Amino acid sequence: MTRLLDVGLEQLTMMVYKSGEVAESAINMSIRGFMNGKDVTEAVRELSDIIGAMTVEIENKAFELIVKYQPVASDLRIINSYMKIAYDFERYGRYAWDISFTHKKLADLDECAVSLDLMPKLIEKVSEMVSKSVEALREHDAELAKTLADTEIEVDELYFACLDQLSKARGRSKCVTCNLLVSRYLERIADHTTYVGEAIVYIATGEKISLR
């Protein structure tokens, strides 16, 4: 017999996954705007606000399930993990908006990304991690989630290399500052993908691991 709690958990699962889809869209939009010198600030801000509202709905749904059905430990593990993942997706959205806002304010929409040789590779790796985190959630794929650890190491190496390159840059100070901040936001997004991955592994296996 299907428990009412199971129906609620399915609903919660779909809510969190949809939040991840919107978060991935926000990041992709902000990155394209940054790489192409386009102002996407308002569109990304709107997506970020939507993700924030979805996070509140997810939290409310989670508390509703706890209050109504008094879930056992295994169910609480899932509910708690979904709340953590929702928060990380909200951070995806916030950092996406930070990228767009910083680019608009500091770079005057010049294509600053092309002035930093390592930026396209950093963006590629972070985008890959975001996509994997959402896919791993959809499939509850612990093994895919664990692969985020290796890519996160690559992102950290690229980030530090970017810092080294920027410390020697002789270009316009606004572009240098913009690239510095955007590379930092990308590195933080990568960190949050590993948090999502850890929660997915915990949901799927009950194992607590660190992917950082």
Q: What is the CATH number of the domain that holds 193?
A: 1.20.58.220
C-alpha 99/C-alpha 95 separation (Å) is 6
pLDDT digits (tens, 9 = 90+) for 1-21: 578 899 999 999 999 999 999
State the average pLDDT over residues 112-121. Answer: 80
- Domain count along the chain: 1
Complete DSSP assignment for 97-144? HHHHHHHHHHHTT--GGGGSTTHHHHHHHHHHHHHHHHHHHHHT-HHH
In-domain check, residue 211: no
High-pLDDT (> 90) share of the chain, %: 82
| pLDDT value, residue 200 | 97
Reported confidence tier of residue 115, pLDDT bands at 50, 70, 90: low
In-domain check, residue 99: yes
Reported confidence tier of residue 184, pLDDT bands at 50, 70, 90: very high
Reported confidence tier of residue 111, pLDDT bands at 50, 70, 90: low
State the average pLDDT over residues 28-46. Answer: 95
In-domain check, residue 212: no
Q: Which domain holds residue 181?
A: 4-205
In-domain check, residue 210: no
In-domain check, residue 48: yes
User: Does the structure show a pLDDT above 90 at 75?
Assistant: yes
| pLDDT value, residue 88 | 98
AA identity, residue 56: V
| pLDDT value, residue 169 | 78
